[in-house]
Amino acid sequence: MKILIQTNEMQEIASKVSAASFRKFGFKEDDIFFLDFKKNDLIQSYIGKKYLRNGKLKIFKNDLQSFTLLRFLGPEFLNYNGRALIIDPDVFAIKDPSNIFNQLNDETAIACTFYEDLPRSEVMLVNCNLISWNFKKILSDLFSLKVDYKDLMNLSFDKSLNIKKLSKSYNSHDIINPDTILLHTTNRITQPWKEGLNIDFERHISRKYIFTQYLKKIIGLKYNKKIFEKTYQRHPEQNVIDKFRELFYFAKENNFIHEGDINISIKNNFFSKKFLE
């Protein structure tokens, strides 16, 4: 079984902490790999190109989430052989996740969690030999406007997939409870290692929604404050902050992260000094 962690420069520290969290539960370093944006010339060649997202034209940028398309490279990266857990860089093992591999049988291509009745591809257990994704073609289809980014992310672009629903304990969104196995700090603006930094991601929300929230603000109604924030905010759950801190220092003590990595990320405003205080 392999662990494939998507990453880029902005999330390099987080991805190494993620790797360390799996190592903590006995996974071998040789079975943990990074799908790294900065090492993939093909995906970098599309920076500045247009694509469809929820039916609207967007520009592909090398920002906080530029790694997301790399999840579709996973089966090809492993030569369409074996099973793999493909995850975002902000997914961390809180309890031993080994049992997740029992969730996939020989007939099921993918197992993942569902939110709002849609598959979530940020944590995917993949039967590589049952998937024929061609990464080059997927990128070509996206940037020639043949497929919408949304349909890639919710896996509806591939009608052949047999998808099994996983417990949300394997993709717990910003909450640690007694059932949490994999914590996903998916709310970008409150990622603990970013607190206080300037936001470096694009909010994909409509002008109508922004205008509506602004009106609510003006007239004193409850509104979504997050869409107007310019900096990363403190995570609302102290136990999430504490758990990431614990895993961060475990990663550092076990040489997943070095002082040089931290200093470079701080210099480039990818990692917050505030977190180290």
Name the average pLDDT for the chain.
93
Q: Which pLDDT does position 125 carry in this prediction?
A: 97
d(CA 4, CA 87): 6
Assess contact for 18 and 248: CB atoms under 8 A: no
Stretches in the chain below the pLDDT threshold 70:
203-205, 210-211, 213-214, 223, 225-228
pTM reported for the whole predicted model: 0.91
Domains of the chain in sequence order: 2-184 (3.90.550.10), 191-276 (no CATH)
Report pLDDT digits (tens) over 227-251.
667 899 999 999 999 999 999 999 9
| Torsion sign, CA atoms 192, 29, 161, 63 | positive
Report pLDDT digits (tens) over 4-31.
999 999 999 999 999 999 999 999 999 9
d(CA 15, CA 256): 10
Q: Which pLDDT does position 214 carry in this prediction?
A: 63
If one counts every other C-beta atom within 10 angstroms of the C-beta of residue 160, the result is 8
